[in-house]
Amino acid sequence: MRTRFGLKPTIILLLALLSLSGLTAVSCQKQPATKASLVITGKIFTGLDSPAFVEALAASEGKILATGTRKEIKKYIGPETRLIELKDGVAIPGLIDAHTHFSSGGRSLIELSFRGVDSVEKVQQMVTEKIKELPPGTPIFGREYDHTLFPGQKWPTKEDLDKVSPQNPVVIRRVDGHSAWLNSLALKISGIDKKTRDPFGGEIVRDPRTGEPTGILKESAMGLIKVRSEIKSTPEEDILRALDHARKLGLTGVQADVGLRELEIYKKLNAEGRLTLRVYAWLPIEGIDQYIKMGLRQGQGDDYLKVGFLKAFIDGTLGSGTALMFEPFADDPTKSGLPQYPEEVFYDLLEKAYANDFQVGTHAIGDKGVNWVLNAVERAQKKHGKKDLRFRVEHAQVIRPEDFPRFKELGVIASMQPTHCTTDMRFCEIRVGKERSRYAYAWRTLLDNGAVLAFGSDWPVEPLDPRRGLYSAVTRKNIEFDFPEGGWFPEQKLSLAEAIKYFTWGSAYASFEENLKGTLEPGKLADLTVFGRDIFSAEPKEILTAPITYTIIGGKVVYEQPQK
């Protein structure tokens, strides 16, 4: 039955009840919008295809509430809301470094650094000055020397250090961390002489005439060093130093080299609320049996700290001449790199990880090393079926043309560091020739073949500063020497939006967290990096000096540029 107004009696009764309670349909009002803890207005890059930019963003309880116009976001502003107005700058999704040695980087901040030193004589001067500060006989430890900056790119020798340090053992690691330069006393303490055999995967560089060690140890041969540093700094202090450094650079996350002991330190800092970025902690693959017994698995943890992939090594570096290549090095035809495992042993190791559902990231720089990683994944998939484990090639610096499509086919991520390109371009063509260099640091070719990239720094091999990575990706020009004009193999350059994407979404994808972070959209973590200059409208060179004005984690400001 219906009334003359066409309404059923039950509906009339409901309206009457609502009227009695003062809640008629006419007087019903929308619930007030949740008030935000943080609202940012200005130019905001979302990382999405559309809308690429918005005028405002609201965050609450660690996540993004809404993005849109200033007018749309105004309703989220309450008396307790912090307002940040971007006048000349731009906010982007929080930058995530997909490859760091974080604790080691923190320690490097207090060690003797030879980064950028361009002659043996300058190294000698610095060692001489350091000796004056220390008690007699104190070991001298340094890092980040680069012989490719020396005249003629010649390797230094023990005699170069003996001239200024006959009584102090000296150990200086090369900038890539894959070789070391020792003086005669350090070699003697370590028991290394002409009779010492090269360990598997390593080389004691020798004088071709006498067979005596020259003072250069490569790859696993560095494990023979018995000299120990006397710098007093605990792993926790190193990590805290690194955290302070990273927040000032706008980093909201890192994927970091962590052992089981350090993992406990990170857990402690997380429980104490002292982590100022999110950590995806990778573990050495050699401990896989122990991890299985312990019940450790990729992804365990929370939004601030998660167990990450297992890290493997298959080769060395171009700078040290130890990357695993199919063809010999152009500047030393007697060598083609140092594999860190026999081929079949390596395949079996990665297959074991795959069978046990572990993600693996393998350091592979030479084209043969990259090929072996892809082969290992292919074998494991054929045996155990396809799984979404997102195996990674860490560095992927030189790739054979036929291997580019295999990244997409096998679901393998290319975890790369743009600054390696702009540093190594000084010697890459010398080391591997121009033809192979066409397929080096080939970001565009990888993308054209459907691969996913994740960008990072490899700190402390390169500086942690992500602005250097963004600049390198869009220019392919050496930062210190500003060459070559137009960029090195410029067809591989990326747009700024693409470079940011792989420092954000790409890194999030590589840690299975693309639904949590990497773009600015409602429901995702409110992690942002804020520049005081609009890097989208600036000249590329200005990216390097664009001030970091805010670093925001979960809607909380963990770094704010001091007011002048």
Contacts of 510 (CB under 8 A, 6+ apart): 98, 255, 390, 392, 413, 415, 452, 454
Determine the Cα–Cα distance for residues 366 and 344; give it in Å rounded to an integer: 18
In a domain, 536, yes or no: yes
Determine the Cα–Cα distance for residues 58 and 66; give it in Å rounded to an integer: 5
Judgement on whether residues 153 and 244 belong to the same structural domain of the protein: no
Residue 116 has pLDDT above 60, yes or no: yes
Judgement on whether residues 216 and 243 belong to the same structural domain of the protein: no
Judgement on whether residues 374 and 462 belong to the same structural domain of the protein: yes
Is the separation of the CB atoms in 417 and 469 below 8 Å?
A: yes
Q: What is the pLDDT of residue 539?
A: 96
Confidence of residue 210 (pLDDT cuts 50, 70, 90): very high
- Paired tokens of 165: 């340090």
Judgement on whether residues 118 and 141 belong to the same structural domain of the protein: yes
Nearest to 243, CA basis, from 209, 266, 222: 266
Judgement on whether residues 370 and 241 belong to the same structural domain of the protein: yes
Q: What percent of the chain stands above pLDDT 70? A: 94
Judgement on whether residues 361 and 493 belong to the same structural domain of the protein: yes
Residue 136 has pLDDT above 80, yes or no: yes
* The domain boundary residue, chosen from 174, 189, 224: 224
Residue 2 has pLDDT above 60, yes or no: no
In a domain, 21, yes or no: no
Judgement on whether residues 164 and 84 belong to the same structural domain of the protein: no
Confidence of residue 14 (pLDDT cuts 50, 70, 90): very low
Q: What is the pLDDT of residue 230?
A: 78
pLDDT digits (tens, 9 = 90+) for 307-324: 999 999 999 999 999 999
Contacts of 22 (CB under 8 A, 6+ apart): none
Determine the Cα–Cα distance for residues 363 and 369; give it in Å rounded to an integer: 8
Judgement on whether residues 151 and 265 belong to the same structural domain of the protein: no
CATH number for the domain including 167? Answer: 3.10.310.70
Domain count, the chain: 3
Question: Could you tell me the residue range of the domain that residue 381 belongs to?
Answer: 96-101+233-517
Q: What percent of the chain stands above pLDDT 90? A: 92
Nearest to 397, CA basis, from 334, 343, 325, 330: 325
Q: Rounded mean pLDDT of 464-468?
A: 98
CATH number for the domain including 464? Answer: 3.20.20.140
Choose between 215 and 7: higher pLDDT: 215
Confidence of residue 31 (pLDDT cuts 50, 70, 90): low
Q: How many C-beta atoms lie closer than 10 Å to residue 317's C-beta?
A: 27
Determine the Cα–Cα distance for residues 258 and 102; give it in Å rounded to an integer: 8
Determine the Cα–Cα distance for residues 255 and 183; give it in Å rounded to an integer: 35
Judgement on whether residues 402 and 418 belong to the same structural domain of the protein: yes
Q: Rounded mean pLDDT of 101-128?
A: 96
Q: What is the pLDDT of residue 29?
A: 41
Judgement on whether residues 456 and 316 belong to the same structural domain of the protein: yes
Confidence of residue 449 (pLDDT cuts 50, 70, 90): very high
| Average pLDDT over the chain, rounded to an integer | 94
